[in-house]
Structure 1
């Protein structure tokens, strides 16, 4: 397997893919650490959420349009232009003297990041054999581990010793190197022929913009969960989102119909359940149990290590059934989330978060890598010229499920007496989603 990934004909492509994923991961981990300093310099606390909302909404548009472009023209153009767009966003944000310019940079970053992720999947489908793909997805998972471990502390030191501007600007060299390494593989790819638009393609731009607006609105409503305005915004957002999703997702996704629709639905359930807990776990440990911020980050680190280890293991076993591994992964995530019900209340045992979140991380390493493999396999079975749009649909469910469920958590915190009351309710709801995912995992097998 190693020669196919790192042999003379593949080494630059594999390393380039890892750098593309790593640049997005470092940006995601570092910017969150630096954002308090950014907002203090350029704006006020009331504008804290907008750099994140701008990135998320733009990434929805980049994801959808990048997938469509890959299906129509092949991934060659997207693999060159989207990292350059991401890099331009880093430069604009890194030199920003005002909040307005920062938001422009975040929009460019979101557009580039969304399109990059889709184009990488299409590249993997074209370049690597089906047997090698589990190992490729294992490497992609490992590309998130180093940024998760060193990104926040490095960003903190850079912000304190130099300036928050260098948190953005310091990633630009990674973008340049990644593009240079991917170019040899890109040159050998066919440019692609324009695909027939068909019913699914009509109105794709309008649907992408509607979904982006809905994500931004839901994020705002989650930040302001009380009062009539937030309720009205949430209702309008859902009214925009539902018809947009009918256009953007494979038919039957809401029912988890067998095949690619079940893969897309499973991706939303798995990501939504895990990453929402990941977002609120430090708050649970600090506010309810009095842990320091540094100590509260330890469960996230061990969870990331569990994810990477499990992803590496599945990569060494390409002959295992991926629907079965997905079900096992969902079961592990279910156990990990259920264990936090013994942590979240005020009477809970805080240290149990460590072993249970390792279990959840192992589940993600098995489940997420299996979903990535199944996505390419089922998309190929559904018909030619579908990998880009189906990869975009899976990534879109990631973004929407996380935005919606994190917003639900914010609403619970705002409407209950304390995190010790709100977070057990949130954990219980996410546990239901994980159980549902375990039940539908078998539907990813079309037989």
Structure 2
């Protein structure tokens, strides 16, 4: 499992490092944020389908299906000669990565007892260490001395060995027949809702790149689609951050979106505005990935203190995003962003495992797939939506007023981080029962 997590970590860090050069090479700066938002939007569909498949039995079939889509997306992106084609590859890749991420979470619940789960999530974080140490820097060197396409092709070479290493655990993860959740019409509806949500995010980004009536229609349909669909995909109360599971899912969505929006634009700022090479800019991401692993290791040493870790972690994320934006001004040393972003990684390392533990602790076996899916698809939808918003603002402002373009993006990220600090206080407030899909999960009392 750690091997597959390491693969996902390497791919994420490497592509983030290389994307500024890719966008310039394919003349696709206007689609820069869509290369990330599209992946996240498509991952929502993969998460829902994999979550349902997991609750109906074993994990082997969704594992191999997710892997096939992930590799297909890498091939399309690696061979793209036009930015829209690269975005298409990232969409296909997102379907696969969304499925794989849910499968890993459910596998933890199926294979390991409750007492060992904090250590397993800490091991997941540790799986980021080697990719964090070498991924961004190697990706930068590959971009500088070979070609950015090898960032995608290299990930393909790692994918199959990583999957074969966990095939045994996947085969052992079949749940008892009495706990199998039968397929219902509601499952089909949820898949359609996930597709509609993903399409709405893509429409938001498309509308942001257009003008006139086309822009108005695309933006209106995208916003309306998200307003109608998202509340039906997530547990009741998630949008209002009701205490318990809904607040945990909302915190994952808001904190993850704030951090990712800043992380997407930070390498672009350092390379385009401060003149760093891709390799050097990648080292900033390395610092955060290492501290993220450290935070998860610290969190793995205890199965209690959830509220404390959530509060500290959320505050660290807010501080980090502010620090990451400061190098916009030439007189601010770049090391301020490096240190600040490392603090943000530590915060994420405290928050994410805590939310994962809470979600699994609250979920009956037959709902572990659905709840793990909800936790991750909320983050994916939130992040993709806010990337579409910042992508529109960035494309609108970057030519005339570059500072304003970056400030709009980082400013929204800071706002999201501040909201996450408020939500963190509600996760373990007085709980109430919540409905997840067609079933009911009881929060801790």
TM-score range, shorter chain: 0.7 to 0.9
Q: Deviations over 1:398-447 (max 9, x none)?
A: 22222222333333334555233343454344333222222222332234
Q: Shift of the alpha carbon at 1:218?
A: 2.5
> Of residues 324, 328, 332 in structure 1, which corresponds to 2:312?
328
Contact 1:219/1:403 (CA < 8 Å) preserved in 2?
no
Structure 2 alignment gaps of length 5 or more: 432-444
Q: Deviations over 1:74-120 (max 9, x none)?
A: 43422233224323444565567988986775444322211010011
Aligned to 1:182: 166
- Count how many residue pairs are aligned between Structure 1 and Structure 2: 425
CA spacing shift, 1:336–1:154, aligned 2, 3 Å: closer
Alpha-carbon distance in structure 2 between the residues aligned to 1:162 and 1:281: 23
Contact 1:342/1:348 (CA < 8 Å) preserved in 2?
yes
> Of residues 267, 271, 284 in structure 1, which corresponds to 2:256?
271
Contact 2:207/2:215 (CA < 8 Å) preserved in 1?
yes
Map 1:218-257 → 2, pairs under 5 A? 218-222=204-208, 224=209, 229-257=214-242
Aligned to 2:415: 432
Alpha-carbon distance in structure 2 between the residues aligned to 1:407 and 1:401: 10
Aligned to 2:9: 25
Alpha-carbon distance in structure 2 between the residues aligned to 1:324 and 1:180: 38
Note if 1:78 corresponds to 2:62: yes
Q: Shift of the alpha carbon at 1:336?
A: 2.4
SS of equivalent to 1:170: helix
Q: Quick check: 349-358 or 103-112, which moved more?
A: 103-112
Q: Quick check: 128-137 or 405-414, which moved more?
A: 405-414
Map 1:44-123 → 2, pairs under 5 A? 45=28, 55-91=39-75, 106-123=90-107
SS of equivalent to 1:386: helix
Q: Quick check: 44-53 or 302-311, which moved more?
A: 44-53
Q: Shift of the alpha carbon at 1:297?
A: 4.0
SS of equivalent to 1:263: helix
CA spacing shift, 1:231–1:346, aligned 2, 3 Å: farther
Note if 1:215 corresponds to 2:201: yes
Aligned to 2:438: none
Alpha-carbon distance in structure 1 between the residues aligned to 2:333 and 2:76: 45
Contact 1:345/1:424 (CA < 8 Å) preserved in 2?
no
SS of equivalent to 1:195: coil
Aligned to 1:389: 370
Note if 1:403 corresponds to 2:397: no
SS of equivalent to 1:171: helix
CA spacing shift, 1:192–1:93, aligned 2, 3 Å: farther
CA spacing shift, 1:99–1:256, aligned 2, 3 Å: closer
Contact 1:65/1:208 (CA < 8 Å) preserved in 2?
no
CA spacing shift, 1:91–1:436, aligned 2, 3 Å: closer
Contact 1:72/1:192 (CA < 8 Å) preserved in 2?
no
Q: Shift of the alpha carbon at 1:268?
A: 0.7
Alpha-carbon distance in structure 2 between the residues aligned to 1:168 and 1:348: 34
Aligned to 1:371: 355
SS of equivalent to 1:253: coil
Structure 1 alignment gaps of length 5 or more: 1-16
Q: Quick check: 135-144 or 205-214, which moved more?
A: 135-144
Q: Deviations over 1:204-230 (max 9, x none)?
A: 1210110121122223345x2765533
SS of equivalent to 2:114: coil
CA spacing shift, 1:96–1:280, aligned 2, 3 Å: closer
**Aligned-CA RMSD value:** 3.4
Contact 1:262/1:443 (CA < 8 Å) preserved in 2?
yes
> Of residues 331, 355, 362 in structure 1, which corresponds to 2:339?
355
Aligned to 1:423: 406
Map 1:161-180 → 2, pairs under 5 A? 166-180=150-164
Q: Quick check: 202-211 or 75-84, which moved more?
A: 75-84
SS of equivalent to 2:163: helix
> Of residues 299, 323, 337 in structure 1, which corresponds to 2:284?
299
Note if 1:262 corresponds to 2:281: no
Q: Shift of the alpha carbon at 1:260?
A: 1.4
> Of residues 110, 115, 126 in structure 2, which corresponds to 1:126?
110
Contact 1:74/1:192 (CA < 8 Å) preserved in 2?
no
Aligned to 1:14: none
SS of equivalent to 2:217: helix
Contact 1:284/1:419 (CA < 8 Å) preserved in 2?
no
CA spacing shift, 1:74–1:443, aligned 2, 3 Å: farther
